[in-house]
Amino acid sequence: MVAITRVRLTPVNTPRHGSITCGHVLVELLTDTDGLIGVGEMSDFQHLPRYHLDVPDLEGTLNELLVGLDPLQITEVERRLEQNFPQAGYIYDKSRTIKCGVDIAMWDLAAKHLGVRVVDLLGGAVRDSVPIAYPVFRQQRDSDVERNLAMVARRAAEGFDHFRVYVGRRLDLDERFLRQVRDRHGDAITIKSLDFSNLLDPRAACRFVDRVADVGFDLVESPAPHHDLKGLAHARDRLPVPVSEHVYGFRWALDLATADAVDVFNVSVIAIGGITPARRIFAIAEAAGKSCLVGTTQEMSIGTAAAAHVAMAMPSVTLPSDPVGPLLYTRDVVREPVTYVGGRLRVPTGPGLGMTLDPERVAASAGPLTWASTSATDVVDRAPAGPTDAPSADLAAVAR
């Protein structure tokens, strides 16, 4: 019998191009079998509230919870994690990040133990890739419009033809960007969504959607404040395009389904706390007749690989999805990062997640989690931390 012998956590910090530095924690589940190690990622801690974990203390806690378990005891691991880090009903709750990193590592370990890919352990691939909607970051100043237009042109040349546009801070600039990007690219690109990120009340969001409806977009995301079921339902009844919302808890998924408040579930592996709980959300969505897309907080390659395996295995994922984190960061921690071909994310090959840590790259990014160089304002809209006029710099995406 194989058993987990140690949980090792390594905090790392990865800068986004022209933007903030994001903290993550790598998870390694060591076993009593040589070379059998599960890897996971607690992704992108740079969300409000503005505090970080005590990583050594967390490592001790996880060793207490997990050492001695079999790699296939995924359900038991989830039970222990939920007992000690319960769902808080908030999309940026730190507990869901902790659980996600451990759960991903368990799926990686179990699949490696059986000599299969995670997607195969999930029931097998129903597709070989998923289209990705590249993020267009929120306009906050006049210079952002031209910068984002240049970014769209650059990514379109690389094969990305779906984009999601974050709106809601400067609606005048948002409208200017939307009209100019359509003028420049016509029908060569698709605007998958306007994402309000819960910033506006539903009536204000609907008024803006009406104002720019002629630009053309496939859906509207989060057009009401957090937990505002009535607001989401109002927007869904009012708008001519589907409405989507992030799902970050079992109760929230049931509430959305019961109220019939949205058309699309945005299911992020990190927002729900891992692959195991994400499967339940997909089941709720299917039972409620809701389409799904795979969301993101912009993970590194390990977290993105987990999202890829989930996206390939779940039949209800019928819409372009969001994970592009490895393209936003200046460095990664694995030997072979995930790949995008023609604007589509492909599932990695090899057993488990198909990811192997690169010791040199890990060492280059390793260091304590810190908020020293990141302000709360920067985090809210993923604004650049310094001068932003270089046309080649991608701003980092607003938190999911």
| Active site (catalytic) residues | 92, 166
Q: How far does CA 205 lie from the centroid of its chain?
A: 23
| Beta-sheet strand order (sheet of 340-341) | 129-131, 344-346, 340-341
Q: Is the peptide bond before 277 cis (omega within 30 degrees of 0)?
A: no
CB 338 within 8 A of CB 363: no
How far is Cα 41 from Cα 27, in angstroms, rounded to an integer? 6
Phi, psi (degrees; rounded to nearest 5) at 314:
-100, 115
| 3-class state of residue 46 by DSSP | coil
Token pair of 302, please?
């390990």
How far is Cα 250 from Cα 110, in angstroms, rounded to an integer? 25
Token pair of 331, please?
């460095």
CB 146 within 8 A of CB 389: no
User: How far lies 165's CA from each of 135, 137, 181, 244, in Å?
Assistant: 6, 7, 11, 14
Strand 340-341 vs strand 344-346: parallel, antiparallel, or unpaired? antiparallel
Give the burial class of 376: count Cβ atoms within 10 A of its Cβ; 0-12 exposed, 13-18 middle, 19 or more buried: exposed
CB 119 within 8 A of CB 350: no
Strand 243-247 vs strand 133-136: parallel, antiparallel, or unpaired? unpaired
How far is Cα 352 from Cα 153, in angstroms, rounded to an integer? 35
Nearby residues of 96 by Cβ (< 8 Å), 6 or more positions away = 85, 87, 88, 248, 270, 271, 272, 273
Give the burial class of 296: count Cβ atoms within 10 A of its Cβ; 0-12 exposed, 13-18 middle, 19 or more buried: buried
Q: If you ran DSSP here, which 8-state letter would residue 351 be given? A: S
